[in-house]
Amino acid sequence: MAGYSVDDAEHDLRAALDKAPFGAVRGNWTVTTMQAGHSSLSGSYHRRDGSVVASDEPQFDIFEEVVERLGTNAATPFNVVSVHWTRAMLPWRQGRVTVETAFDAALVPRGPDDPIYADAADARRRFWNSVGTVEPGFAAERETANIHGQTKWFQPHRRVLRIKAGDAVLLATDGLSTPWAGVTTQENGVECEVFMRLGGAGNLVAADEASVALWSDVLIGVGDLVADGYRVLRDVQTNGAILFCRLIEDCRPMTRMALRMDLRSIERLPFGPVSLIEATPLREDELPGLDDDPWGTAAALGALEKRAAPKQLSSPIIPASGRLIRRSREDGPIPGLARRSSGARSSPSAPTSSSVSSVKQYHPSVAGRSQRVAHALIGSPKRGGLHALEA
Reported as a single tens digit per residue, the pLDDT across 374-386 is 333 323 223 333 3
Q: Which residue has the higher pLDDT, 170 or 382?
A: 170
Is residue 27 domain-resident? Answer: yes
**Per-residue pLDDT at 108:** 78
One domain for residues 97 and 129: no
**Residue 37, pLDDT score:** 64
**Residue 41 β-bridge partners:** 31
Q: Are both 291 and 173 inside the same structural domain?
A: yes
Portion of the chain with pLDDT greater than 90, in percent: 32
More confident position, 10 or 360:
10
Within-domain flag for 1 = no
Q: Which long-range contacts (CB under 8 A, 24 or more apart) does 289-292 make?
A: 290/243
Same domain, 93 and 132: no
38 and 136 housed in the same domain: no
Share of the chain above pLDDT 70, in %: 73
Q: 135 to each of 117, 143, 245, 380, how far by Cα in Å?
A: 20, 20, 28, 39
The arithmetic mean of pLDDT across residues 8-37, rounded, is: 86
Is the domain of 130 the same as that of 61? no
Higher pLDDT: 169 or 144? It is 169
Q: Are residues 185 and 43 in the same domain?
A: no
Whether the predicted pLDDT of 329 surpasses 70: no
Judge whether residue 34 has pLDDT over 90.
Answer: no
Tell me what pLDDT residue 32 has: 85
pLDDT at 214 over 70: yes
101 with 121, same domain? Answer: no
What integer pLDDT is reported at residue 2 of this predicted model?
65
Helix (H, G, I), strand (E, B) or coil at 117: helix
User: Which pLDDT belongs to residue 315?
Assistant: 38
Give a yes or no: residue 379 inside a domain. Answer: yes
Residue 346 covered by a domain: yes
Q: What is the domain range of residue 57?
A: 6-107
Query: What pLDDT, on the 0 to 100 scale, is given for residue 75?
Result: 76
Residue 346: name the closest of 240, 266, 230, 233 by CA.
230
Q: Quick check: is 309 in a domain?
A: yes
Comparing 331 with 148, the larger pLDDT belongs to 148
Mean pLDDT of the chain: 75
Whether residue 102 sits in one domain with residue 152: no
pLDDT at 230: 62
pLDDT tens digits along 129-166:
999 999 987 776 677 788 878 889 988 899 999 999 98
pLDDT digits (tens, 9 = 90+) for 36-50: 666 788 888 999 999
Q: Among 179-188, 227-236, 294-303, whose mean pLDDT is lowest?
A: 294-303
Give the Cα separation of 387 and 384 in Å (integer). 10
Please check whether residues 176 and 261 belong to one and the same domain: yes
**Cα 377 to Cα 159: distance, rounded to the nearest angstrom:** 21
Choose the final residue of a domain: 77, 107, 137. 107
- Verify that 284 and 374 share a domain, yes or no: yes
Position 185 scores a pLDDT of: 82
Residues 266 and 169 in one domain: yes
Judge whether 184 lies within some domain: yes
pLDDT at 352 over 50: no
pTM: 0.63
- Residue 382: strand, helix, or coil: coil
| Rounded mean pLDDT, 340-346 | 34
Higher confidence at residue 131 or residue 59?
A: 131
pLDDT at residue number 288:
72
CA–CA separation, 387 vs 172, rounded Å? 20
Distance (Å, whole) CA 107 – CA 342: 18
Could you tell me the sign of the dihedral formed by the alpha carbons of 200, 206, 210, 211, in that order? negative
Nearest residue to 174 via CA among 112, 95, 211, 227: 227
Residue 173: the pLDDT is 95
Looking at the fold, whether 99 and 48 belong to one and the same domain comes out as yes
pLDDT of the residue at 381: 27
pLDDT of residue 183: 84
Q: Are 288 and 229 in contact (CB under 8 A)?
A: no
Most confident option among 28-42, 47-61, 185-199, 373-387? 185-199
**What is the structure's pLDDT at 71?**
83
Domain boundary among 107, 138, 167: 107
The single-letter code of the amino acid at 378 is I
What total number of domains does the chain contain? 2
Instruction: Pick from 181-195, 314-328, 364-378 the range whose average pLDDT is largest.
Output: 181-195
Domain-terminating residue out of 107, 142, 174: 107
Give me the CATH number covering residue 100. 3.30.500.20
The confidence score (pLDDT) of residue 127 equals 97
